[in-house]
A = this chain, B = another copy of it.
Amino acid sequence: MGRWEPNARDRLQRAALELYSEQGFDQTTVAEIAQRAGLTERTFFRHFADKREVVFWGENALHELFVDAVANAPDSASPLEGIAAGLEAILAYFEHIPRESARQRQAVITANARLQERELTKYSSLAAGIADALRRRGTAELAADLTAMTAVSVFKVAVESWIDATDDRDLSQHIHGSLDELKTLVADG
């Protein structure tokens, strides 16, 4: 025990998502995940607090990338340019996530009410973080909240459309598509 296991986190995450897909999140135990990954439960708990954390692992990094990019946008940037910078920054996070993994993960969440609630909470806390960053840049209270929620909506729709797409456009293109959609929505109104 305690010895270094190459790619243990990745192997555990892959095994967990496979099992959650096959037999359901509630029906899967940590023992089964460890076994499928060819590792021990102890190794699992060195990497994840519990089996739910496997699903949301990496979300904090994404949150940080997004919020930092908004905070560090040039002073001259408008709120919308700030969130465009945030959306650009998170592409680095998705670079190493194959679309098939993202699709599998989303299907696992969709199948479980508790995971769905958890996902909504994550999105809500991302919006709160973005709103704080905007307020620190001088954006007014109401505008900061609305901009942050809009940013998260644009992001959610882009990821959803990337996951569902049958063509080869990458996430970056879906994000631009989603931002354009927002502009069209408001312009046509």
Q: Which residues of B contact A183 (CB under 8 A)?
A: 186, 189
A124, B186: Cα distance in complex, Å: 21
**Closest chain B residue, CB of each to CB of A142:** B161
With contacts A120-B117, A153-B149, A156-B149 known, is A80 near B142, CB below 8 A? no
Closest Cβ of chain B: how far from A60's Cβ, in Å? 18
**Contact flags (1/0) for A156-189 with B, using CB distance below 8 Å?**
1100110000000000000001100111111111
A161, B120: Cα distance in complex, Å: 22
| Cβ < 8 Å to B, chain A residues 41-95 | 78-81, 84
User: A117 contacts which of B80, B117, B149, B189 (Cβ < 8 Å)?
Assistant: B117
A101 within 8 A of B: no
Number of copies: 2
Query: Number of A residues whose C-beta is below 8 Å from B?
Result: 35
Q: List 20 A-B contacts (CB under 8 A).
A: A79-B189, A80-B186, A81-B189, A117-B117, A120-B121, A142-B160, A142-B161, A142-B178, A143-B181, A145-B156, A146-B182, A146-B185, A149-B149, A149-B157, A150-B182, A153-B153, A182-B186, A183-B186, A183-B189, A186-B186
